[in-house]
Amino acid sequence: MWKVVAVSDFFENLFNHIHGAVTHFPIALPFVSVGVDYFAAKRPGLQGGAWLLLVLGSLGTVAATITGLVAHLAYEDDSVLLSAIDRHQYLGFATTALFVGLTAWSSMRRGDVGGSRAYLVVALVGLAVLALTGFLGGNLLTEWGIGVKGITR
Ligand code: HEM
């Protein structure tokens, strides 16, 4: 019997924290992709790796958006918490649109767009918006206590 409870606890825990787990990928991969792309100007062999990291990072932003939308449903009836979540949510949408757009652009040019100045400018804007999204996401937990089990002493 205790095994059934442990398994259901595990899935409840996983479901409640899946957004926080998924977000590591879209935060890390685009940063590494843009960094590798920068060096690919001197070492063209790196271009393919940068493109793959971009694709995986963009898939991660889509996964983060879906899991984030699911995570926020529990707070729909609280207008104060919802307004804090909204700022994070809209930046998350912008991050996703920017990186999916960059992936489409790069893929249409067979991954050779990376080194161009135009690409770098859009990518740096994307990284700034991504960083702000992640920062405000963390704030939802540390400043607002969303998704955090209280500690009693
Ligand atoms: C690229 C898109 C996104 C990124 C990178 C991102 C990132 C983050 C991060 C880093 C956290 C803190 C998690 C932790 O420390 O455990 C967080 C929390 C949160 N995010 Fe997002 N987020 C994204 C999109 C969204 C969207 C679209 C929503 C929709 C409302 C959303 C809703 C939430 C909520 C409710 C929390 C607090 C509860 C929880 O962590 O499950 N996020 N997000």
Q: Look up the domain containing 88 and give its range.
A: 2-142
150: in domain: no
Q: Do residues 94 and 131 touch, judged by C-beta distance below 8 A?
A: no
Q: Is 72 in the pocket of ligand 1 (CB under 6 A)?
A: yes
User: How far apart are the CA of 20 and the centre of ligand 1, in A?
Assistant: 6
In a domain, 131, yes or no: yes
Task: Say if 151 falls within a structural domain.
Answer: no
pLDDT band at residue 1 under the 50/70/90 scheme: low
127 lines ligand 1 (CB under 6 A): no
Q: What angle do CA 79, 82, 85 make, to 5 degrees?
A: 160
Quote the pLDDT of residue 114.
67
Q: Is residue 107 part of a domain?
A: yes
pLDDT digits (tens, 9 = 90+) for 19-57: 999 999 999 999 999 999 888 888 888 989 999 999 999
* Domain total in the chain: 1
Whether 126 maps to a domain, the answer reads: yes
Q: How confident is the model at residue 150 (pLDDT cuts 50, 70, 90)?
A: confident
Give, using CA atoms, the residue closest to atom 32 of ligand 1: 68
CATH of the domain at 13: 1.20.120
Q: How far is the CA of 70 from the centre of ligand 1 (A)?
A: 10
pTM greater than 0.85? yes
Does residue 46 sit within a domain?
Answer: yes
pLDDT at 115: 67
Which token pair is 128? 């700034």
pLDDT beyond 70 at 112 = no
